[in-house]
């Protein structure tokens, strides 16, 4: 039988360590839930660059972006890329997810859930990586964001700057980019349980596998796969991709019981961990960035932190 006892020194801690290699410290079949807002691979910051195709303009700022302010903080790669090598970026994201997917499967209890916040562009690559590692892809939530800046540039403005008034008028109303990104996907996976048993059997053996609809309805008005919880006053601003604590609480309570263990291998500013603490769960968080690890520790030390 595998050793499922987690080292007590890991429990209820934020550990400043690489969230991929640090998983080796966790025994097999030990974790009840993994809930993580993983890097999306879209170049939000340096830590979100998960490919080797860069150039001098990447993550830079153009004069137009400076004028626009924080909404256009960094220059990302266009979907079409700047070189043929850029076409490999989606595959490189799959490769990155594959580096840790097998370890996630190993540390989870049979029937346990994984909730992953994933970017719209590469979420399918994350799904494929976890399926290839042995996970079952159960469902996808849509988290409806409170605020979503519209970053699509007007084509007519481009032509105006070129002094091309004729085409500026012709292409009035057209934009370059995407529609307003009002939702983010949250991927739901499960670790397969023993063949020949049922979920009801697995719940009795491992304490996971079913979902707590009654608890979920304390956060949402209906048992739909649409999530609406947003930030409370004074909560955001600790991390560029921070998620609301009550949103994390709703997912933790959906899939776990009090006293069980929630793991976040990319814990950032600690929202998952704070949510776990507030709902009476144990937690383990890994964060490679020492600054964010300290932010997470400070939030956990403040039991009233939001």
Measured distance CA(129)–CA(112) in Å, rounded: 18
**Helical residues (DSSP H) of 172-233, grouped into ranges:** 199-206, 213-216
Backbone angles phi, psi at 249, to 5 degrees: -60, -40
DSSP β-ladder status, 183-190 and 108-117: antiparallel
Q: What is the pLDDT of residue 143?
A: 96
pLDDT at 15: 96
pLDDT for position 230: 85
Give the per-residue pLDDT at 47: 61
| pLDDT value at residue 305 | 45
**Domains, the chain, ranges and CATH?**
13-145+182-301 (3.40.50.150)
* pLDDT tens profile 96-138: 999 999 999 999 999 999 999 998 999 999 999 999 999 999 9
Q: What is the pLDDT of residue 53?
A: 65
Residue 306: what pLDDT? 46
Stretches where the chain sits below pLDDT 50 are 1-3, 305-306
pLDDT digits (tens, 9 = 90+) for 170-190: 999 999 888 999 999 999 999
Q: What are the start-end ranges of the H helices in 12-111?
A: 63-68, 89-107
Secondary structure element (H or E) that encloses residue 85, with its range = none
Write the burial class of residue 30 (CB in 10 Å: 0-12 exposed, 13-18 middle, 19+ buried).
buried
């Amino acid at each position: 039988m595998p050793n499922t006892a987690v080292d007590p020194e890991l429990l209820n801690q934020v550990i400043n360590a690489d969230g991929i290699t640090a998983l080796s410290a966790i025994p097999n079949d030990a974790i009840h839930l993994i809930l993580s807002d993983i890097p999306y691979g879209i170049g939000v910051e340096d830590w979100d660059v998960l490919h080797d195709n860069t150039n001098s303009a990447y993550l830079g700022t153009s004069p137009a972006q400076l004028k626009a302010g924080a909404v256009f903080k960094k220059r990302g790669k266009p979907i079409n890329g700047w070189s043929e090598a850029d076409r490999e970026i989606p595959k490189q994201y799959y490769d990155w997810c594959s580096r840790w997917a097998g370890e996630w499967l190993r540390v989870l209890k049979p029937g346990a859930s994984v909730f992953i916040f994933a970017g719209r562009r590469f979420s399918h690559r994350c799904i494929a990586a976890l399926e290839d590692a042995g996970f079952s892809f159960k469902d996808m939530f849509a988290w409806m964001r409170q605020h979503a800046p519209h970053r699509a540039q007007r084509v007519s403005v481009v032509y105006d700057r070129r002094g091309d008034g004729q085409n500026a008028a012709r292409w009035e109303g057209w934009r370059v980019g995407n529609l307003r990104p009002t939702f983010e996907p949250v991927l739901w996976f499960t670790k397969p349980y023993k063949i020949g048993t049922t979920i009801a059997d697995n719940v009795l053996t491992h304490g996971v596998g079913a979902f707590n609809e009654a608890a979920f309805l304390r956060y949402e008005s209906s048992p739909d796969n649409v999530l609406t919880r947003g930030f409370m006053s004074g909560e955001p601003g600790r991390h560029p991709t921070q998620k609301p604590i009550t949103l994390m609480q709703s997912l933790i309570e959906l899939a776990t019981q009090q006293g069980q263990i929630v793991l976040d291998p990319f814990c950032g500013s600690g929202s998952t961990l704070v949510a776990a603490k507030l709902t009476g769960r144990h937690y383990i968080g890994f964060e490679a960035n020492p600054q964010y690890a300290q932010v997470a520790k400070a939030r956990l030390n403040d039991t009233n932190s939001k």
